Amino acid sequence: MASKARRLSATQVSYTFSPATEPKYHVESGDTLIVETPDCFGGVIESEQDTHDVLDLERVNGAVGPIYIEGANPGDCLKVKIRSVRVTGGTGVMMTIPGFGLLRESLKIGKTKICRISKNRIVFKDGVKVPLSPMIGTIGVAPELETVSTITPGAHGGNLDTRDVKAGSSVYFPVFVKGALLGLGDCHAAMGDGEVCVTGVEVPAQVTLKVDVIHGFKLLRPIIETEDEWMTLGSAATLEEAARLATQDMLDIVKRKLGMGDEEAYMLLSAAGDLRISQVVNPYTTVRMAVSKNHLKSII
């Protein structure tokens, strides 16, 4: 039997990932969801004269949800297959915010840019166009105990700002609480690795995804599956610490799936693994370790 398609409204958002938040939706494992997501500013930016001063920084990066997935229990894994990410507006917003971003000490002026989106291109300015490449900036589940802002990434996922979280990819999350309590939002029409100024091209979007509970498959942190690669994700206070987490998780997978010892698996990652920066501007940085499916066919 084909899975049901459920529509989830952009009006039902949360600004935290928390085990204490009441779910806004209940769905079944195997369901297909059509999720309308607001842009990260909640639609309050209407012109380039609207700068960071109009924002309530306690109410940005809203994630649609929480979504309770029946049958998801602590120790399980939630697989989220992203079927499509469709930008629903004709423009995208970018912004610099004083005190934020990688170059926050030297670039201190708040500025807003509204970019027209046309024919699979983002018109940054006359003569400068960026390919349209929609992705989900924030997606995650509730942590076991604490309440975490949707601005912050971690073992639960959250504000990962990883451009591989896009159509065709699957993201695997550890389940820490009953029902998982999935949330997603903060979609971008495009974002470069690093997201150095603290925004991508921020847009409202319609995301179609499928949720499946994998019982008894325990993860420590999120994993991304693309058509060609597996990626482990680490988020931490420093790039080095985030890189260590992502590398250790992939090392453990390689050992388990390929029957290697520590040293041999370590050398394979040095020869064939790629460390990539996802973002460096959130309260924690995020790094991914990627390995080709030519070497690692499955993680389960």
* Cα Dmax for the chain: 58
Alpha helices by DSSP H, the chain: 239-258, 262-272
Using a 10 angstrom Cβ sphere, with 0-12 exposed, 13-18 middle and 19 or more buried, the burial of residue 34 is middle
CB neighbours of 127 closer than 8 A, spacing ≥ 6? none
Q: What is the pLDDT of residue 107?
A: 85
pTM: 0.95
What Å distances lie between residue 12 and 23, 24, 82, 151, 169, CA to CA? 10, 7, 20, 17, 25
Q: Tokens for 225? A: 């599956």
Tell which CATH architecture fits domain 224-292.
Roll (3.10)
DSSP code at position 98: T
Q: Is 239 helix (H, G, I), strand (E, B) or coil?
A: helix
Domain ranges of the chain: 5-218, 224-292
Q: Tokens for 273? A: 């693994």
Q: What is the pLDDT of residue 4?
A: 61
Per-residue pLDDT of the chain (300 residues; tens, 9 = 90+): 455 688 998 889 999 999 999 999 999 999 999 999 999 999 999 999 998 888 888 889 999 999 999 999 999 999 999 999 999 989 999 999 998 999 999 888 899 999 999 999 999 999 999 999 999 999 999 999 999 999 999 999 999 999 999 999 999 999 999 999 999 999 999 999 999 999 999 999 999 999 999 999 999 999 999 999 999 999 999 999 999 999 999 999 999 999 999 999 999 999 999 999 999 999 999 999 999 999 999 998
Strand partners, 292: 229
Q: 5-218 belongs to which CATH class?
A: mainly beta
